[in-house]
Structure 1
Amino acid sequence: MLLPTDCQTGILLRRYKRFLADVRLADGQSLTVHCPNSGSMRGCSTPGSPVLISKSDNLRRKYPWTLEMVREQGVWIGVHTGRTNYLIREALENGVIGDFGPLSSIVPEVTVSAGSRLDFRLETESGGTVYLEVKNCSLAENGVALFPDAVTARGTKHLHELVRLAAAGYGAAVIFCVQRHDADRFAPAARIDPVCAETVAWAAGRGVRFLAYRAEVCPQAITVREKIPFCLSEYSRDCV
């Protein structure tokens, strides 16, 4: 996925109120930008870090600029969670993600129950239906990508929906899109949200598939490149 050509780099001054960040540009100007990430951004919101921001052509926006990525520990980290589904869809269409076999259709934003939607419904050429939820992962520690970076009741609710669909005979899966290249495997962040981690293990035992794919992140483009092992514990090498 190519990023807008008019992006600018700057230095992160602070991230606050969840959806705002102050950035200093090379000319010394300071901007308040939209931060499209509801998580804690642990490990990718340190003041003084280089950032990349993009400008919207929507004149009605209060904050025209958007935080796209942050550079920490020598790597660019994608923090714009609104781009994650596009990245995974692109990877599905290009065959980079082939875990579900050839696909005949990809339907986004599917309502599965009252007040609950999942990111995609995949129709396979073999005739099967797979419900897919996508999660953005920006946190990594000691080479392990971790999700979530804050307690997520919504994420746990999605897992219950997927278990219900798996019990009804449908395919059900979660893909974690790791938007940084310094992680060689993925695990649930049990220290941050033990309930979510326990629910992942419970759902895995009831037919929900868990996959992790790593993206190459740079100021010009973000591209899903490869599958990395999914582990039920960050301390275990027993991964799939």
Structure 2
Amino acid sequence: MKFEKKLETATIIKRYKRFLADVTLENGEVVTAHTANTGSMKTCWEPGWKVAVSYHDDPKRKLKYSLELTHNGETWIGVNTSIPNKLAYKSIQENKIPELMGYESIKPEATIGKSRIDLLLKSSDKPDCYVEIKNVSMKAEDGRAVFPDAVSDRGLKHLEELAGIKREGMRAVMLYIIQREDVSEFRPAIEIDPAYAHALKRVHAEGVEILAYRCKVSIKAVEIDCALPVFLDF
């Protein structure tokens, strides 16, 4: 999936108040970029790292730049959490996620009861499939991609909703989109949010499917690369 805007490289100075990052553009100008990421962004930035930003010439926008990628010296890391939902939708349409092939329609932001799930896949010959999507950008000390990078009550709620969907006889899938290339396995971040980690292990035992897909990330595009093993041995 190509970026809608051509990205410019810059150098990050600091990230603060969750949604703001000061960066130095290549022309030396210091600007504040919007950061579409509510997590801690652990292992995703340090002062002086190269980053990539998009420019938006919208008179309604107070901040004209958005932080899209950071670079740790080895790989680009996608930190815009709006990307995974769009990428998953497009990749399922293009049959790039084999486990989610064979459905006739895809509906984003599907409502079931009082819950809203990221995607609903429907087909006349199989049960409905609800897919919740999470962005993964953190790499733990053991070299694995991990989620969440901060305690996530909302993420825990989504797991319980998926378990409820499975109990009702439908298919429930937790899909992790990993926006960095320097990892080869995925696991829940038990050292950060043990409640989430244990809940993921439990709902998986109850039939919720867990998929983790690594992406190829460049300054031009983010694309699905391959499935990674999911580590739940804790």
User: 2:126 aligns to what?
Assistant: 127
Q: CA deviation at 1:98?
A: 1.4
Q: CA deviation at 1:93?
A: 1.0
Partner deviation per Cα, 1:140-198 (whole Å, 9 max, x = no partner): 13431100000000000001011111000000011100000111010000000000001
Could you tell me how far apart the structure 1 residues matched to 2:101 and 2:76 are?
Answer: 31
Could you tell me how far apart the structure 1 residues matched to 2:201 and 2:100 are?
Answer: 21
Counterpart of 2:170, as a letter, is Y
Is the Cα contact below 8 Å between 1:68 and 1:80 reproduced in 2?
yes
Q: TM-score, normalised by structure 2?
A: 0.96
| CA 200–11 in structure 1, closer or farther in 2 if over 3 Å, else same | same
| CA 191–73 in structure 1, closer or farther in 2 if over 3 Å, else same | farther
Q: How does 1:211-230 map to 2 (within 5 A)?
A: 211-230=211-230
The alignment partner of 1:81 has SS state of coil
Q: How does 1:1-240 map to 2 (within 5 A)?
A: 1-114=1-114, 116-124=115-123, 126-141=125-140, 142-233=142-233
Is the Cα contact below 8 Å between 1:100 and 1:124 reproduced in 2?
no
Is the Cα contact below 8 Å between 1:101 and 1:124 reproduced in 2?
no
Counterpart of 1:137, as a letter, is V
Give aligned pairs, total. Answer: 233
Could you tell me how far apart the structure 2 residues matched to 1:170 and 1:57 are?
Answer: 44
| CA 73–147 in structure 1, closer or farther in 2 if over 3 Å, else same | farther
The alignment partner of 1:192 has SS state of coil
Could you tell me how far apart the structure 2 residues matched to 1:2 and 1:28 are?
Answer: 27
Partner deviation per Cα, 1:103-137 (whole Å, 9 max, x = no partner): 100000012232x3110001136332101000000
Q: CA deviation at 1:205?
A: 1.0
Could you tell me how far apart the structure 2 residues matched to 1:73 and 1:154 are?
Answer: 32
Is the Cα contact below 8 Å between 1:171 and 1:208 reproduced in 2?
yes
Q: CA deviation at 1:6?
A: 3.0
Q: CA deviation at 1:64?
A: 1.2
Could you tell me how far apart the structure 2 residues matched to 1:2 and 1:221 are?
Answer: 4
Could you tell me how far apart the structure 1 residues matched to 2:232 and 2:179 are?
Answer: 20
Which has the higher mean CA deviation after the structures are superposed, 166-175 or 116-125? 116-125
Could you tell me how far apart the structure 1 residues matched to 2:189 and 2:158 are?
Answer: 17
Could you tell me how far apart the structure 2 residues matched to 1:90 and 1:200 are?
Answer: 26
Counterpart of 2:192, as a letter, is I
